[in-house]
Structure 1
Amino acid sequence: MTDPRDGWAGLGWEGWEDYDGIRRRLDQGADAEVWGGGRPLHRAAAWGSPEVVAELARRVADVDALQDGTTALWEAVLSDRHDNARALAAAGADPWRPLMGGWSPGRLSLAGPTPDLFTVPEDERGLTEAERAATQEGHRLVTALGSIHYDGTGLACVAGIDAAEAIRRLEAAPAEGEDMDDLLENPYDYDLDETLQIIGVTTVPGGCVVTQPWGYAPQMPGVLTRLSAGTVCYGMYANPKSGNQGSIVRDGVIEGSDLHPGGGPQPEDTSEEILAAYLYRHNAVGFACAYAGLRLTDARAVVGPPDQWVELPERDYWSR
């Protein structure tokens, strides 16, 4: 929440694009350095107009001041606000200052949609060969998936095995018949308890995808641990109430849970994780697929129809 004493009370997201309104607040005493728990320039870099960004940059003591380990320029690059990034650079922000995981805003932009956003210094190493390959695949995968609706969907992205092997590991049986046809037509007419055992399985380049467009079954521990024998899975549930929830399971061992795929880079991330989080920001499905090394050519494995619908046997899938 904003503090009424800092002059920003009542300002919504769209207000950061209102140059006259922002300038009026500043002239009336709004604090250019403080907005609630953060900094106005960081907020404007991600949500505002270049004119607002330039005005705030003119009034702050340090255009490269940090908030949670990043500069306003980093926020502009991360948010694909390229005009804001240019306005900050023109105001003296340093594109090549190392921040998260050794990445600078400028170097991060080399992996984005506008790699020519900044002039690259002669001593800047740019992207490594591995980073260029990851970037190219990231752009390809995001394009291949397209704009899909996956709210409420559960996924397990499994490396190195096909659909037939996944079905064998899960000891699942084919699901078919008139009841199945009705379920696929009207999945939300059923209680989840009635349909939780039904999942779709599809072979894709690099492995397979287990999906449930209406529930979380593919991410249940007992499903992921069985699928991950000798390999790795990234499980995801796009929870309509609380957002995307991810988990990593390797060879039957849960290595990570309560993760947030598609949520953007975090300060504790490694260099490789920073790049992946940037490439798949706001794209939890792409992140999950990429983590497992799956190279989908379209979204069918996620949104259907899958190669095969199957029914899981009755067992406790929460005890692993």
Structure 2
Amino acid sequence: MKPGSDGWAGMSWKWADVDDVRRRLDEGADPERWSGGRPLHHAAVFGSPQVVGELVGRVADVDALENGVTALWEAVVSGKPHNARVLATAGADPWRPLIGGWSPGRLSLAGPTPDLFPVPEGTGLTDPERAAAQESRRLITALGTFHYDGTGLACVAGIDAAEAVRRLRAAPVEDEAADEVLKEPYGYDMDRILQIVGVTTVPGGCVVTQPWGYAPQMPGVLTLLSADTVCYGLYANPKSGNQGSIARHGAVESWDLHPGGGPHENDTAEEVLASYLYHCNAVAYSCAFSGLAPTDSRAVVGPPDVWVELPRRDYWSH
């Protein structure tokens, strides 16, 4: 190992090769430190159970924290039950409270592997938490899998498509004209088609969608839609990933959020649960935040109830 090196050069996010990891460790790689964070935390997410098993025998504390969580937490949130079992067998504590008061073990009760750890007597989910978990499974299944890079959404609670159109003062667009844009959106000058959005009523509210751009998430759109209610905006930026925002009662209150990205260190208990349930499901997260319960993906991918054109104005100064 070169002087001053931690022994993990060139690892990037690849932590599945146990022979390579073992060789590096035997040659002096630091089991506690890597330029990208703690090796065990990254192996818990990106590695194999064999690599996790190799590392747990070399670290001083299997429950060491990084960004407020343990490697076991990372394995649970990332949906790596085999890695989680290796960590628990090595002494990691499934019931240690971490972010928002949640422990890895109690969080796992809301996910697809509720039998991951032996559950202490008296430990479980509350009725609202159990209902949220059930709805997440229904919603994710109902939406299904589809390509949504480049899509903009506004998920609005408590109003229907007609009310959304009224608030936006939008004018109807012929379905045929919108369909032509939808066939080849990137063949158009964006300035010509940015004002065109689809609007669809769903149980709980409505969805404003633009499969080719960010218009529904523009601040001026969100403030109009969120009068006397709440609205979650999403732009699936192909270059930088999912970008979320929250507008409430006509004002944008949060911006540059990361829906579907997993819990963060300062999240509340409710935010932790939602981020876990909708991990890597940004569209479902956006719908759930506003209490929408679509029964399929039509409100997102089309055809919408109605295509409309927004008035030309400054939507960024709000």
The aligned counterpart of 2:43 is 44
Per the TM alignment, residue 224 of structure 1 is displaced from its structure 2 partner at its CA by 1.0
Runs of 4+ in 1 over 4 A off after TM superposition: none
The aligned counterpart of 1:25 is 24
Asked if 1:229 corresponds to 2:227, the answer is: yes
1:13 is aligned with what amino acid?
A: W
Per the TM alignment, residue 254 of structure 1 is displaced from its structure 2 partner at its CA by 1.2
Once residues 276 and 180 of structure 1 are traced to their aligned partners in structure 2, the CA distance between those partners, rounded to angstroms, is 34
Matches within 5 A, 1:119-268: 119-124=118-123, 126-176=124-174, 179-268=177-266
Q: Deviations over 1:262-305 (max 9, x none)?
A: 11101110000000011111111111100100001111100111
The aligned counterpart of 2:110 is 111
Per the TM alignment, residue 197 of structure 1 is displaced from its structure 2 partner at its CA by 0.8
Per the TM alignment, residue 188 of structure 1 is displaced from its structure 2 partner at its CA by 1.1
Tell me the secondary structure at the aligned position of residue 267 of structure 1. coil
The aligned counterpart of 1:65 is 64
Q: Which among 283, 288, 295 is matched to residue 281 of structure 2?
A: 283
Per the TM alignment, residue 75 of structure 1 is displaced from its structure 2 partner at its CA by 0.6
Asked if 1:100 corresponds to 2:115, the answer is: no
The aligned counterpart of 1:78 is 77
Once residues 179 and 205 of structure 2 are traced to their aligned partners in structure 1, the CA distance between those partners, rounded to angstroms, is 27
Tell me the secondary structure at the aligned position of residue 255 of structure 1. strand
Q: 1:39 to 1:178 in 2, by over 3 A?
A: closer
Tell me the secondary structure at the aligned position of residue 149 of structure 2. coil
Once residues 177 and 116 of structure 1 are traced to their aligned partners in structure 2, the CA distance between those partners, rounded to angstroms, is 49
1:252 is aligned with what amino acid?
A: G
Q: 1:4 to 1:198 in 2, by over 3 A?
A: farther
Per the TM alignment, residue 178 of structure 1 is displaced from its structure 2 partner at its CA by 5.2
Once residues 213 and 282 of structure 1 are traced to their aligned partners in structure 2, the CA distance between those partners, rounded to angstroms, is 19
Once residues 177 and 47 of structure 1 are traced to their aligned partners in structure 2, the CA distance between those partners, rounded to angstroms, is 45
Once residues 38 and 314 of structure 1 are traced to their aligned partners in structure 2, the CA distance between those partners, rounded to angstroms, is 47
The aligned counterpart of 2:6 is 6
Tell me the secondary structure at the aligned position of residue 267 of structure 2. coil
Per the TM alignment, residue 184 of structure 1 is displaced from its structure 2 partner at its CA by 2.1
1:84 is aligned with what amino acid?
A: N
Once residues 233 and 75 of structure 1 are traced to their aligned partners in structure 2, the CA distance between those partners, rounded to angstroms, is 30
Once residues 187 and 213 of structure 2 are traced to their aligned partners in structure 1, the CA distance between those partners, rounded to angstroms, is 13
TM-score if structure 1 supplies the norm length? 0.96
Tell me the secondary structure at the aligned position of residue 254 of structure 1. strand
1:46 is aligned with what amino acid?
A: V
Q: How many residues align?
A: 316
Q: 1:4 to 1:173 in 2, by over 3 A?
A: farther
Once residues 145 and 117 of structure 1 are traced to their aligned partners in structure 2, the CA distance between those partners, rounded to angstroms, is 27
Per the TM alignment, residue 122 of structure 1 is displaced from its structure 2 partner at its CA by 1.2
The answer to whether the Cα contact below 8 Å between 2:175 and 2:307 also exists between their aligned partners in 1 is: no
1:85 is aligned with what amino acid?
A: A
Gaps of at least 5 residues in structure 1 are none
C-alpha RMSD over aligned residues: 1.3
Per the TM alignment, residue 35 of structure 1 is displaced from its structure 2 partner at its CA by 1.2
Tell me the secondary structure at the aligned position of residue 5 of structure 1. coil
Once residues 271 and 211 of structure 1 are traced to their aligned partners in structure 2, the CA distance between those partners, rounded to angstroms, is 30
Per the TM alignment, residue 222 of structure 1 is displaced from its structure 2 partner at its CA by 1.3
Deviates more, 1:98-107 or 1:29-38: 29-38
Per the TM alignment, residue 181 of structure 1 is displaced from its structure 2 partner at its CA by 3.6
Per the TM alignment, residue 177 of structure 1 is displaced from its structure 2 partner at its CA by 6.4
1:30 is aligned with what amino acid?
A: A
1:58 is aligned with what amino acid?
A: G
Per the TM alignment, residue 241 of structure 1 is displaced from its structure 2 partner at its CA by 1.4
Per the TM alignment, residue 4 of structure 1 is displaced from its structure 2 partner at its CA by 6.3
